[in-house]
Amino acid sequence: MALLDELATLLGPQGCLIGTAVPEAARSDASRAGRNLPIALLRPASVDEVSRAMALCHAAGQAVVPQGGMTGLAGGANPRPGDFALSLQRLSGIEEIDRDSATMTLKAGTVLQVAQEKAAEAGFLFPVDLGSRGSCTVGGNIATNAGGLRVIRDGMTRDNLLGIEAVLADGTVLSNLGKMVKNNTGYDLRHLLAGSEGTLGIITRAVFRLRPLPRDRATALCALDSYACVLALLAGARTQLSGLSAFEAMWRDYFAMSQSLAGLRLFADAPAFSVILEAQAETAALEGFLGTAFEEGIIADALVAQTEAEARDFWTVREGHAMDAHLPGLINLDVSLPVTRLDDFAQACRVAILARLPGSHVSFFGHVGDSNLHIAVALPDGADDIDHTVDEIAYGLVRDLGGSVSAEHGIGTLKRAWLGHSRSVPEIAAVRSLKASPDRKGILNPGKVL
């Protein structure tokens, strides 16, 4: 195939893997929904190589799927039969930390944890943090507009992005790596590329704003009797607790299952709601706030972490990796709703799922401070939900309650059928025309999002 020969010449043996040399990891992201190995895995090591490889693929009408750390949960990086994949793995590294501007310029294939560690060494906080930090890439974070654990303080990925560089389908390089917070020069391509899931351009470099490294951090795990109390605690934390950096809630079934599988016993009897409250404050300030909340009957109990290890235990239960490991086929959905409706949704969703799929374990948790709920469903005997009954129930309720079918994981292929529950027909048509303009041949991650 002439195209593969040209790509092999351009990228060299490390940069163009074909046939049996393509690793299994290129088949699927963390959704495990990918079935096809790409025909070729392109691994360019410079922006120029990305550009020239895309120009060749464009001329040949060859579809290309961008791949970062493959931790996505929406199937966005999964190839279709006949696709090439383009990994950003070799385009990695920090280019500059600018102390005066408080910015970091880095390549898209940099692993998030590396960016966090380099920022910390320089006395700054990298403002994006997710459970997949050890594998996901900054380019993937931008392409999915990742959320994560500290959105309540620092916002989503796009909120921290000052500059971006991307290669379009035909190889054109769009570069605007400015470090300015203010830059109102018309349409902002940063915000189009953030969340575009590899369908508009291949992100090659970016500039992030850095935040001050917190000097103090206090973490508590609170037990609450009702969702009204959760809302009261959130309102109080927002107004009375300075430096609120995380507000994560777990419904009873989730906490009970996750703590037991993790081998922990934080609360012997799982409360109706457990909330991790984290603030950039001294422990005494958090204890004072919690004391008042206790006197007002908002919280029933609280554990305040005295060590990093104790705080880590709270997060272990919240992150629930043991559930993923012990419950094969666990279905994990990500939605957002007005914060006042999250428990109405959870109750209705549980009843509807148990009516149609009796014997399932249905549990809820999430970044409640960001109106973001995750739903974890284990079907009896680890069965597969081949009819997408859970999706149909959950996304139908989301539509009825005015929410969004994706809070932070994106649309990819797995939520494409439900996009119309959260986006109107004219909105989807406008997005289609935006996509068609830089990618007339439709070669950049076709079949994703739209």
Ligand X SMILES: Cc1cc2nc3c(=O)[nH]c(=O)nc-3n(C[C@H](O)[C@H](O)[C@H](O)COP(=O)(O)OP(=O)(O)OC[C@H]3O[C@@H](n4cnc5c(N)ncnc54)[C@H](O)[C@@H]3O)c2cc1C
Task: Output 88 or 275, the one with its CB closest to ligand X.
Answer: 88
Residue 57 is given by DSSP the state H
Tell me which residues touch ligand X (CB under 6 A): 29-30, 65-73, 76-77, 88, 108, 130-132, 136-137, 139-141, 143-144, 146-148, 197-198, 202-203, 408-409, 412, 445, 448
Closest chain position to ligand X (CB): 140
Closest approach of ligand X to the CB of residue 62, in Å: 16
Closest approach of ligand X to the CB of residue 35, in Å: 16
- How many angstroms separate the CA atoms of 43 and 86, rounded? 6
The Cβ-side half-sphere exposure at 212, using a 13 Å CA radius, reads: 6
First to last CA, the chain: 30
Closest approach of ligand X to the CB of residue 36, in Å: 14
Question: What would the DSSP string read from start to end of 121-145?
Answer: HTTEE-S-B-TTTTT-BHHHHHHHT
Which residues have CB under 8 Å from 189's CB, separation 6+?
164, 166, 174, 176
Closest approach of ligand X to the CB of residue 355, in Å: 30
Task: Output 142 or 357, the one with its CB closest to ligand X.
Answer: 142
Closest approach of ligand X to the CB of residue 149, in Å: 6
Task: Output 132 or 160, the one with its CB closest to ligand X.
Answer: 132
Report CA-CA distances (Å) from 81 to 30, 43, 281. 19, 19, 52
Closest approach of ligand X to the CB of residue 326, in Å: 15
Is the four-CA dihedral 281, 287, 291, 297 of positive or negative sign?
positive
Residue 257 tokens read as 């299952």
Task: Output 131 or 243, the one with its CB closest to ligand X.
Answer: 131
Q: Where are the alpha helices (DSSP H) in 296-358?
A: 308-319, 321-326, 342-356
Closest approach of ligand X to the CB of residue 182, in Å: 26
Task: Output 147 or 236, the one with its CB closest to ligand X.
Answer: 147
Residues in the chain, total: 450
Residues 448 and 411: beta-carbon distance below 8 Å: yes
Task: Output 131 or 155, the one with its CB closest to ligand X.
Answer: 131
Task: Output 103 or 137, the one with its CB closest to ligand X.
Answer: 137
